[in-house]
Amino acid sequence: MSVMLPESSLNRRRFLTAVLAGSAALAFGDLAFPRAARAAAGGGPFTLPPLPYADNALSPSISANTIGFHYGKHHQGYVNNLNQLVAGTPLADQSLEAVIKASVGAVDKTAIFNNAAQVWNHTFYWNSLRPKGGGKPTGALAELIEKSFGGFDQFKTEFAKAATSQFGSGWAWLVKDGDKLAVTKTGNADTPIVHGLKPLLTIDVWEHAYYLDYQNRRADYVAAVLDKLINWDFAAQNLAT
Ligand code: MN
Q: What is the whole-number distance in angstroms between the Cα of residue 74 and the centre of ligand 1?
A: 7
When pLDDT is cut at 50, 70 and 90, the band that residue 164 belongs to is very high
Tell me the per-residue pLDDT of 113-156, one tens digit each, with 9 for 90 and over.
999 999 999 999 999 999 999 999 999 999 999 999 999 999 99
Q: What is the whole-number distance in angstroms between the Cα of residue 138 and the centre of ligand 1?
A: 28
pLDDT at 17 over 80: no
Tell me the per-residue pLDDT of 65-102, one tens digit each, with 9 for 90 and over.
999 999 999 999 999 999 999 999 999 999 999 999 99
Q: What is the whole-number distance in angstroms between the Cα of residue 209 and the centre of ligand 1?
A: 5
- What is the sign of the dihedral through the CA atoms of 60, 61, 66 and 68? negative
Q: What is the whole-number distance in angstroms between the Cα of residue 39 and the centre of ligand 1?
A: 26
pLDDT at 9 over 80: no
Residue % of the chain over a pLDDT of 90: 82
| Alpha-carbon span 90 to 103, nearest angstrom | 12
In a 13 Å sphere around the CA of 117, the CA atoms on its Cβ side amount to 25
Q: What is the whole-number distance in angstroms between the Cα of residue 159 and the centre of ligand 1?
A: 18
Q: What is the whole-number distance in angstroms between the Cα of residue 189 and the centre of ligand 1?
A: 9
Tell me the per-residue pLDDT of 175-206, one tens digit each, with 9 for 90 and over.
999 999 999 999 999 999 999 999 999 999 99
When pLDDT is cut at 50, 70 and 90, the band that residue 44 belongs to is confident
- List the chain domain ranges: 7-127, 139-240
7-127 and 139-240: same fold? no
Q: What is the whole-number distance in angstroms between the Cα of residue 210 and the centre of ligand 1?
A: 9
Q: What is the whole-number distance in angstroms between the Cα of residue 34 and the centre of ligand 1?
A: 27
75 φ, ψ (degrees, to nearest 5): -60, -45
pTM score:
0.84
Q: How far is CA 115 from the centre of its chain?
A: 13
Q: What is the whole-number distance in angstroms between the Cα of residue 206 and the centre of ligand 1?
A: 6
Pick the CATH number of 139-240 from 3.55.40.20, 3.30.70.3170, 3.40.50.10610, 1.20.1420.30: 3.55.40.20
Q: What is the pLDDT of residue 36?
A: 52
Q: What is the whole-number distance in angstroms between the Cα of residue 59 and the centre of ligand 1?
A: 17
Mean pLDDT over all residues of the chain?
Answer: 87
Q: What is the pLDDT of residue 43?
A: 65
Q: What is the whole-number distance in angstroms between the Cα of residue 5 and the centre of ligand 1?
A: 30
111 close to 80: Cβ distance less than 8 angstroms: no
Supply the Cα-derived Rg of the chain in whole angstroms. Answer: 18
CATH number of 7-127: 1.10.287.990
Q: What is the whole-number distance in angstroms between the Cα of residue 147 and the centre of ligand 1?
A: 31
